[in-house]
Amino acid sequence: MQNDRRYVPHVEGTLMKLPASGRRVLVSGASRGLGRAVAQAFAANGDRVAVHFASRADDARVTLESLDGTGHALVGGDLADPTGAVAVADAAAEALGGIDVLVNNAAVNLRHPLPETPYEEWVAVWQRHVSVNLLATANLSHLAARRMIDQGSGGRIVNIGSRGAFRGEPDHPAYGATKAAVHALGQSLAVSLAPYGIAVASVAPGFFATERVSSRLEGVEGAAIRAQSPFGRVAEPAEIAAAVLWLASPAAEWSSGTILDLNGASHLRS
Phi, psi of 102 (to 5 degrees): -120, 130
Active site residue 175: yes
Q: Angle at CA 239, nearest 5°, toward 128 and 146?
A: 55
Of residues 175, 202, 249, 266, which has the active-site annotation? Answer: 175
Which amino acid, one-letter code, is at 195? P
Residue 268's CB is within 10 A of a number of other CB atoms, namely 9
Backbone dihedral angles phi then psi of residue 180, each to the nearest 5 degrees: -60, -40
**Among positive and negative, which fits the CA dihedral 209, 210, 216, 219?**
positive
How many helices (H) and strands (E) are present in the chain, helices listed first? 9, 9
Whole-angstrom distance, CA of residue 52 vs CA of residue 146: 19
Name the H helices within the chain: 33-44, 57-66, 82-96, 119-129, 136-151, 164-167, 173-193, 219-226, 237-247
Alpha-carbon span 137 to 85, nearest angstrom: 9
Active site residue 17: no
Instruction: Give the span between the Cα atoms of 163 and 59, in whole angstroms.
Output: 26
Which among 157, 137, 259 is positioned nearest to 202, based on CA atoms?
Answer: 259
179 assigned to active site: yes
The three-point CA angle 119-122-127 to 5° equals: 130
Q: Check 162, 202, 249, 266 and give the catalytic one.
A: 162
Which is the catalytic residue, given 153, 179, 202, 256?
179
The residues that are catalytic are 162, 175, 179
